[in-house]
């Protein structure tokens, strides 16, 4: 009897213990399954940083159960599913380890629904762990090697650090498959992955047929994705190993982010919003009809701004005009006239010409060879009869096409220039049509000339003194170039006022442009320190010879710029034009540029630049900018305001440099980069970076970024810089909102005397970096705010880049993930710096 009770007691104790075991395991935040536990429907394990869980999951409007990895914060979002094709219809699912170490999912009737099926047949000991990045791995416990991982068997989601791969020899790919629909995770008709042959690209396929294409990877970005040309959220890297396998992976991020191939065949990049507890879509692959693969058929170019969006390129006409006009563009266009070269297989270089198509996502099926020189691409293409078009990208090299051009589209202001081969007469043809335009222009020109001559005589009569040579200024508005000088009233400038230096003088002054006297590299040439015979110290900017501009135009514009006089602009004191050589002579600034002083921790000026000096710098730059925008006789938009373009004189007064110059020397459109949006990532306003639109308010944006940099002593980073991209704005926004603005401030200037002032400056800077130009104050208003003429400041809106980057960390009252994710907004943080050019 007694023994019986003891027995019973022991039994119930055992029962309690046994039922406690799962509880103990799973409530203690374990991230690992071991062979002595049985994992049931109600159990979960959680990753070390608590981001991901493994457990059983049911999609929306679906009662079936699936073994899955999902987010802790968003349990309805599964990033990986084991038994997507064999769901459980009840909660009887069990995960166990088989004798040979595989993980096995069985249902209540002991049928195997899924298995890792990776370990061979002999018995071994394994465990399975859910890692911080969401990878679920099976390890051999004796050796620690990973024998299976969920990242190698993806479902529809690509996570940071996950890889899409392609082996160019075996063709083995790791691809992503869409779900059938939002409540059915069975593989649907869409897949996505990388194709590495030739130039790597990312594809979405619909039942194996291309549906979307990213355009070639150029070493940094996917060249057919316009959003990637401006600062973007999360960078990718691509690399290969010796077996010929290529990998592409999104960099690790400090926020929760994923790419989902959804069931309608689109890729959505989404970020977790901690405040609203939902996913924000930050990018989609297929934004419009032009993004769909081959929307306009062979030789049809797509431009979403045109109506209709498809057009045949010059020298081509629709194959089926009726279909084309009814909006079915799939059959595309054909050449109006055969290339002579194609007709008689005879390379007739002279007869063929190239038509330049700007800003393209280049067509599919590019052949590729390395060359730094675009002329080489051209000659190679001309010498090969089957070459239809070529293009050149500084990072990719030459691309050429011998198959019909499919899936190319025109962007607004980014992309690659495509050169399409045409018979010479097709281009001439066009110029015939041009007469219709040219004749009125010529007539207009003569009328205007006549008026000017009359005016000149009139002037001469009025002013009998024979003044110095005068030229009429006519500075045009050219969109794709740098600093913009708006045309002013019919002003005449006086050429002789600007001192001309001889090449010899300058060469002697700089010791034959000796490297020891090199001060730096500006956007358009090298800058040397020099000393004139009279002892005056100067800075000489020697412009690279790529400017295709004539000497007279050059002089004309230099003279215009030399008229700008303001104590916060660097003064141009002369120039030199001799043959190919063009040089500009400036006053010398002993304290060099602001970026050295601000960002170099070992720079002696770190101590000198206290808050008073920094505030003076901010205010003075503002005044210089105001002069450019409205006080000078011209209206000038700088377009590239950044610390390296702000120079400091011996008293630490700032002077803006490089204004107006870039516009003159960026003129040659074949020069790398400059024909695109000019400026430096990180300082460019969103509307300018993304759409090429600019105004005074774009300068105000750059000024806001500059203010934040001066206050924090940290550089706003740039999109190649891994996950810290654009964090400065995000940090400022977050800390200011949390009323911790002082945490943002450079430690070397922290001073209790000016706290209010400093926080007010952050506030003003945030007003300057707002997304919409109309929200930003003009520079005049900014100055009034700085000087307290305007006392009450409006509330800023969240800056766009900060929003994308940082939305999940902002907010009041929500739990901060900061401790686990290493939030970068702290004073100790050093943001590594990569320059924008
Ligand atoms: C299961 O086995 C592991 C080692 O393989 C051990 O550390 C752990 O304590 C065991 N758990 C239980 C509940 O027995
Ligand atoms: C789930 O069902 C509800 C009600 O029928 C419907 O409103 C909702 O759109 C469904 N969700 C999905 C993803 O199908
Ligand atoms: C993860 O989920 C658990 C329970 O749902 C919760 O207590 C915990 O705070 C979550 N962790 C994070 C980092 O959100
Ligand atoms: C689950 O499916 C099995 C057949 O696969 C069936 O026998 C069983 O009744 C189903 N259970 C439920 C709860 O529907
Ligand atoms: C399930 O089947 C396996 C063999 O397939 C067997 O070893 C195991 O004992 C069975 N488990 C149950 C609970 O029936
Ligand atoms: C396991 O793999 C083998 C070959 O590697 C295959 O024949 C078998 O069907 C797989 N089993 C399961 C359950 O996937
Ligand atoms: C999803 O797909 C399944 C099977 O293909 C179908 O039965 C179901 O109705 C679909 N659900 C929706 C919401 O379309
Ligand atoms: C892969 O990269 C290596 C350099 O790491 C390079 O030498 C090799 O040619 C590449 N292989 C292929 C197939 O491109
Ligand atoms: C797929 O993504 C696109 C773009 O965000 C969206 O318009 C579409 O509704 C999504 N489809 C589904 C089924 O969620
Ligand atoms: C468009 O034209 C192609 C080729 O003639 C034809 O196969 C296709 O059905 C047409 N599509 C539509 C929507 O009319
Ligand atoms: C040119 O060469 C192609 C194949 O390369 C051939 O089919 C065609 O007949 C040739 N044309 C002439 C005119 O020789
Ligand atoms: C190639 O074309 C040139 C000029 O059109 C002609 O003089 C030459 O004879 C042609 N050569 C051949 C092989 O057809």
Among protein residues, the one with the nearest Cα to ligand 8's atom 9 is: 242
**pLDDT surpassing 50 at residue 312:** yes
Q: How confident is residue 474, by pLDDT bands cut at 50, 70 and 90?
A: very low
Q: Alpha carbon of 660 to those of 387, 484, 640, 668, 743: distances in Å?
A: 41, 7, 10, 16, 37
Compute the distance from residue 185 Cα to the ligand 7 centre, in Å: 10
**pLDDT surpassing 70 at residue 204:** yes
* pLDDT at 575 (0 to 100): 86
Q: How confident is residue 451, by pLDDT bands cut at 50, 70 and 90?
A: low
* pLDDT at 715 (0 to 100): 79
Q: For the residues 117-145, what does the mean pLDDT come to?
A: 89
Q: Where is pLDDT greater, at 438 or 126?
A: 126
Q: How confident is residue 95, by pLDDT bands cut at 50, 70 and 90?
A: very high
**pLDDT surpassing 90 at residue 137:** yes
Tell me the three state secondary structure of residue 624.
helix
Which of 364, 393, 595, 640 is the catalytic position? 640
User: What per-residue string of b and e applies to 315-334 under the rule 16 or more CB within 10 Å gives b?
Assistant: bbebbbeeebeeeebeebbe
Verify whether residue 640 is a known catalytic residue: yes
Instruction: Kindly state whether residue 488 falls inside one of the protein's structural domains.
Output: no
Regarding the beta carbon of 263 and ligand 9, being less than 6 Å apart is answered yes
**pLDDT surpassing 80 at residue 23:** no
Q: Which residues are annotated as a binding site?
A: 541
**pLDDT surpassing 50 at residue 16:** no
> Do 115 and 102 touch, CB atoms closer than 8 A?
yes
Ranking 237-251, 411-425, 434-448 by mean pLDDT, the lowest is 434-448
* pLDDT at 630 (0 to 100): 78
Q: For the residues 476-486, what does the mean pLDDT come to?
A: 34
Instruction: Kindly state whether residue 545 falls inside one of the protein's structural domains.
Output: yes
Q: For the residues 397-409, what does the mean pLDDT come to?
A: 93
- Computed over every residue of the chain, the mean pLDDT equals 78
Question: Considering 152, 167, 190, which residue would you say is the last residue of a domain?
Answer: 152
Compute the distance from residue 25 Cα to the ligand 1 centre, in Å: 9
Question: Which numbered ligand comes closest to the C-alpha of 351?
Answer: 12
Ranking 148-157, 471-480, 575-584, 649-658 by mean pLDDT, the lowest is 471-480
CA 542 to chain centre: 31
Q: How confident is residue 542, by pLDDT bands cut at 50, 70 and 90?
A: confident
- C-alpha angle with apex 810: 809 to 814, nearest 5 degrees? 80
Question: Considering 382, 406, 429, which residue would you say is the last residue of a domain?
Answer: 429
Q: Where is pLDDT greater, at 833 or 765?
A: 765
Q: Where is pLDDT greater, at 822 or 176?
A: 176
Regarding the beta carbon of 89 and ligand 4, being less than 6 Å apart is answered yes
> How many other C-beta atoms are found inside a 10 Å radius of the C-beta of residue 596?
15
Compute the distance from residue 245 Cα to the ligand 8 centre, in Å: 9
Of 189-193, 365-369, 474-478, 623-627, highest mean pLDDT: 189-193
Q: Are residues 233 and 92 in the same domain?
A: no
Percent of the chain with pLDDT over 70: 73
Q: Where is pLDDT greater, at 270 or 228?
A: 270
Regarding the beta carbon of 344 and ligand 12, being less than 6 Å apart is answered yes
Q: Where is pLDDT greater, at 822 or 59?
A: 59
**pLDDT surpassing 50 at residue 668:** no
Instruction: Kindly state whether residue 647 falls inside one of the protein's structural domains.
Output: yes
Q: Are residues 251 and 349 in the same domain?
A: no
Tell me the three state secondary structure of residue 393.
strand
What is the length of the chain?
A: 837
* pLDDT at 578 (0 to 100): 83
**pLDDT surpassing 50 at residue 12:** yes
**pLDDT surpassing 50 at residue 442:** yes
Compute the distance from residue 496 Cα to the ligand 10 centre, in Å: 69
Question: Which numbered ligand comes closest to the C-alpha of 331?
Answer: 10
**pLDDT surpassing 60 at residue 495:** no
Sheet of 164-167: strand order equals 164-167, 245-250, 236-240
* pLDDT at 240 (0 to 100): 92
**pLDDT surpassing 60 at residue 229:** yes
Q: Where is pLDDT greater, at 448 or 133?
A: 133
Q: Where is pLDDT greater, at 402 or 424?
A: 402
Among protein residues, the one with the nearest Cα to ligand 7's atom 12 is: 181
Determine the Cα–Cα distance for residues 12 and 5; give it in Å rounded to an integer.
10
**pLDDT surpassing 70 at residue 833:** no
Contacts of 748 (CB under 8 A, 6+ apart): 606, 607, 609, 610, 713
Determine the Cα–Cα distance for residues 726 and 232; give it in Å rounded to an integer.
9
Q: How confident is residue 57, by pLDDT bands cut at 50, 70 and 90?
A: very high
Q: Where is pLDDT greater, at 779 or 601?
A: 779
**pLDDT surpassing 70 at residue 6:** no
Determine the Cα–Cα distance for residues 777 and 767; give it in Å rounded to an integer.
7
Regarding the beta carbon of 474 and ligand 2, being less than 6 Å apart is answered no
Among protein residues, the one with the nearest Cα to ligand 4's atom 3 is: 89
CATH number at residue 47: 2.90.10.10
Regarding the beta carbon of 344 and ligand 11, being less than 6 Å apart is answered yes
* pLDDT at 544 (0 to 100): 66
Percent of the chain with pLDDT over 90: 37
**pLDDT surpassing 90 at residue 399:** yes
Partners of 528 in the beta sheet?
Answer: 518, 540
Compute the distance from residue 182 Cα to the ligand 2 centre, in Å: 9
Q: Where is pLDDT greater, at 410 or 26?
A: 410
Regarding the beta carbon of 34 and ligand 1, being less than 6 Å apart is answered yes
* pLDDT at 802 (0 to 100): 45
* pLDDT at 358 (0 to 100): 87
Instruction: Kindly state whether residue 487 falls inside one of the protein's structural domains.
Output: no
Instruction: Kindly state whether residue 477 falls inside one of the protein's structural domains.
Output: no
* pLDDT at 167 (0 to 100): 94
Tell me the three state secondary structure of residue 777.
coil
Regarding the beta carbon of 323 and ligand 10, being less than 6 Å apart is answered yes
Among protein residues, the one with the nearest Cα to ligand 10's atom 14 is: 328
Residue 691 exposed, middle or buried by CB count within 10 Å (0-12, 13-18, 19+): middle
For the entire predicted model, the pTM comes to: 0.61
Instruction: Identify which of 296, 328, 331 to mutate to test ligand 10's pocket (most ligand atoms within 8 A of the CB).
Output: 328
Q: For the residues 39-53, what does the mean pLDDT come to?
A: 92
Instruction: Kindly state whether residue 437 falls inside one of the protein's structural domains.
Output: no
Q: Are residues 612 and 745 in the same domain?
A: yes
pLDDT tens per residue, range 675-714: 334 556 677 777 766 666 677 888 999 999 999 999 988 8
CATH number at residue 800: 1.10.510.10
**pLDDT surpassing 70 at residue 372:** yes
Q: Are residues 707 and 568 in the same domain?
A: no
**pLDDT surpassing 90 at residue 480:** no
* pLDDT at 328 (0 to 100): 92
Residue 811 exposed, middle or buried by CB count within 10 Å (0-12, 13-18, 19+): middle
Contact residues of ligand 8, CB 6 A cut-off:
168, 240, 244
Determine the Cα–Cα distance for residues 221 and 293; give it in Å rounded to an integer.
19
Q: Are residues 557 and 652 in the same domain?
A: no
Largest CA distance in the chain: 137
Q: What is the DSSP letter of 629?
A: I
Instruction: Identify which of 240, 244, 369 to mutate to test ligand 8's pocket (most ligand atoms within 8 A of the CB).
Output: 240
* pLDDT at 583 (0 to 100): 86
Determine the Cα–Cα distance for residues 107 and 391; give it in Å rounded to an integer.
57
**Which atom number of ligand 10 is nearest to the Cα of residue 320?**
5
Q: Are residues 808 and 671 in the same domain?
A: yes
Instruction: Kindly state whether residue 752 falls inside one of the protein's structural domains.
Output: yes
Q: Are residues 273 and 333 in the same domain?
A: no
pLDDT tens per residue, range 763-802: 999 999 998 888 999 998 999 999 988 888 999 988 875 4
> Do 674 and 666 touch, CB atoms closer than 8 A?
yes
Q: Are residues 54 and 41 in the same domain?
A: yes
Q: Are residues 92 and 240 in the same domain?
A: no
Instruction: Kindly state whether residue 469 falls inside one of the protein's structural domains.
Output: no
**pLDDT surpassing 90 at residue 296:** yes
Q: Which residues are annotated as a binding site for ATP?
A: 541
**pLDDT surpassing 80 at residue 143:** yes
Q: Are residues 705 and 796 in the same domain?
A: yes
Q: For the residues 152-167, what does the mean pLDDT come to?
A: 95
Regarding the beta carbon of 3 and ligand 11, being less than 6 Å apart is answered no
* pLDDT at 799 (0 to 100): 81
Q: Are residues 680 and 751 in the same domain?
A: yes
**pLDDT surpassing 70 at residue 238:** yes
Return the C-alpha torsion angle 23, 25, 28, 30, nearest 10.
-140
Regarding the beta carbon of 72 and ligand 3, being less than 6 Å apart is answered yes
Determine the Cα–Cα distance for residues 253 and 130; give it in Å rounded to an integer.
18
* pLDDT at 472 (0 to 100): 27
Quote the tokens at residue 785: 């705010």
Question: Which numbered ligand comes closest to the C-alpha of 347?
Answer: 12
Regarding the beta carbon of 117 and ligand 6, being less than 6 Å apart is answered yes
Q: Are residues 657 and 523 in the same domain?
A: no
Closest Cα to residue 379, out of 336, 347, 344, 413? 347
**Which atom number of ligand 11 is nearest to the Cα of residue 344?**
13
**pLDDT surpassing 80 at residue 660:** no
Tell me the three state secondary structure of residue 793.
coil
Of 309-323, 337-351, 560-574, highest mean pLDDT: 309-323
Domain total of the chain = 6
Compute the distance from residue 254 Cα to the ligand 2 centre, in Å: 32
* Domain that includes residue 195, residue range: 157-287
pLDDT tens per residue, range 729-751: 878 888 888 888 888 888 877 66
Question: Considering 379, 405, 429, which residue would you say is the last residue of a domain?
Answer: 429
Compute the distance from residue 34 Cα to the ligand 1 centre, in Å: 7
Compute the distance from residue 71 Cα to the ligand 3 centre, in Å: 10
pLDDT tens per residue, range 263-284: 999 999 998 887 788 898 888 9
Determine the Cα–Cα distance for residues 217 and 219; give it in Å rounded to an integer.
6
């Amino acid at each position: 009897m007694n023994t019986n009770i003891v027995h019973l007691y022991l039994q119930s104790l055992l029962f309690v213990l046994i039922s406690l075991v799962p509880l103990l395991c799973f409530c203690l935040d374990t991230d690992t399954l071991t062979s002595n536990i049985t994992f049931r429907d109600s159990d979960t394990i959680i990753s070390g940083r608590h981001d991901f869980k493994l457990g059983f999951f049911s999609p929306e409007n679906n009662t079936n159960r699936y073994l899955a990895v999902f987010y802790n914060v968003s349990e309805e979002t599964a990033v990986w599913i084991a038994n997507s094709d064999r769901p459980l219809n009840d909660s009887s699912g069990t995960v166990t380890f088989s004798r040979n170490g595989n993980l096995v999912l069985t249902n209540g009737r002991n049928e195997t629904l899924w298995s890792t099926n990776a370990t061979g047949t002999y018995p071994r000991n394994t465990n399975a762990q859910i890692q911080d990045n969401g990878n679920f791995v099976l390890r051999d416990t004796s050796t620690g090697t990973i024998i299976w991982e969920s990242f190698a068997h993806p479902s529809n989601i690509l996570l940071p650090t996950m890889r899409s791969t392609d082996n160019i020899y075996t063709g083995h790919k790791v691809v992503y498959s869409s779900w059938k629909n939002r409540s059915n995770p069975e593989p649907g008709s869409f897949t996505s992955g990388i194709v590495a042959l030739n130039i790597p690209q990312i594809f979405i396929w619909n039942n194996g047929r291309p549906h979307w294409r990213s355009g070639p990877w150029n070493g940094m970005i996917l060249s057919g994705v316009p959003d990637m040309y401006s600062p973007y959220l999360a960078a990718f890297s691509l690399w290969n190993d010796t077996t010929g396998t290529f990998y592409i992976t999104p960099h690790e991020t400090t926020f929760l982010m994923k790419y989902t191939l959804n069931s309608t065949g689109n890729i959505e990049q989404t970020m977790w919003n901690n405040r609203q507890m939902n996913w924000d879509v930050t990018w989609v692959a297929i934004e419009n009809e032009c993004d769909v693969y081959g929307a306009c058929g062979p030789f049809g170019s797509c431009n979403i701004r045109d109506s209709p969006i498809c057009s045949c390129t010059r020298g081509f006409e629709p194959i089926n005009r009726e279909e084309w006009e009814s909006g079915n563009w799939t059959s595309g266009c054909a050449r109006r006239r055969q290339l002579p070269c194609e007709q008689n297989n005879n390379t007739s270089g002279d007869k063929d010409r190239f038509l330049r198509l700007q800003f393209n996502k280049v067509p599919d099926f590019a052949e590729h060879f390395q060359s730094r020189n675009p002329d080489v691409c051209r000659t190679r293409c001309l010498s090969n009869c089957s070459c239809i078009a070529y293009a050149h990208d500084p990072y990719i090299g030459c691309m050429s096409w011998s198959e019909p051009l499919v899936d190319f589209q025109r962007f607004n202001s980014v992309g690659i220039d495509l050169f399409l081969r045409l018979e010479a007469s097709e281009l001439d043809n066009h110029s015939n049509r041009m007469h219709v335009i040219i004749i009125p222009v010529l007539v207009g020109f003569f009328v205007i000339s006549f008026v000017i001559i009359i005016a000149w005589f009139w002037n001469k009569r009025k002013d009998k003194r024979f003044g110095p040579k005068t030229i009429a200024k006519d500075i045009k508005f050219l969109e794709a170039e740098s600093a913009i000088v708006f045309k002013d009233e019919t002003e005449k400038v006086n050429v002789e006022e600007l001192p001309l230096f001889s090449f010899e003088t300058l060469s002697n002054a700089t010791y034959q442009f000796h490297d020891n006297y090199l001060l730096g590299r500006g956007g358009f040439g090298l800058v040397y320190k020099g000393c004139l015979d009279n002892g005056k110290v100067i800075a000489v900017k020697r412009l690279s010879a790529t400017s295709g501009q004539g000497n007279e135009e050059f002089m004309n514009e230099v003279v215009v710029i030399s008229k700008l006089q303001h104590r916060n602009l660097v003064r141009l004191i002369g120039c030199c034009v001799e043959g190919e050589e063009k040089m500009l002579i400036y006053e010398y600034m002993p304290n060099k540029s602001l970026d050295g002083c601000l960002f170099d921790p070992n720079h002696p000026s770190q101590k000198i630049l206290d808050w008073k000096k920094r505030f003076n710098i901010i205010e003075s730059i503002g005044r210089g900018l105001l002069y450019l925008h409205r006080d000078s006789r011209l209206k000038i938009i700088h377009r590239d305001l950044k610390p390296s373009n702000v120079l400091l004189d011996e008293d630490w007064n700032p002077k803006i440099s490089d204004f107006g110059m870039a516009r003159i020397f960026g003129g040659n459109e074949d020069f790398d980069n400059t024909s695109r949006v000019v400026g430096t990532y990180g300082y460019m306003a969103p509307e300018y970076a993304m759409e090429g639109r600019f105004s005074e308010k774009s300068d105000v944006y750059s000024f806001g970024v500059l203010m934040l940099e001066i206050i924090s002593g940290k550089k706003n980073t740039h999109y190649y810089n891994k996950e810290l991209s654009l964090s400065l704005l995000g940090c400022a926004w977050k800390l200011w909102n949390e009323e911790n603005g002082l945490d943002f401030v450079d430690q070397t200037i922290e001073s209790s005397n000016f706290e209010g002032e400093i926080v007010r400056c952050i506030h003003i800077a945030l007003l300057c970096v707002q997304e919409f130009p109309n929200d930003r104050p003009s520079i005049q208003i900014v100055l009034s705010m700085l000087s307290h003429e305007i006392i009450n400041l409006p509330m800023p809106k969240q800056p766009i880049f900060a929003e994308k980057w940082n939305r999940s960390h902002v907010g009041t009252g929500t739990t901060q993930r900061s401790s686990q994710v290493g939030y970068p907004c702290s004073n100790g943080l050093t943001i590594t710096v990569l320059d924008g050019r």
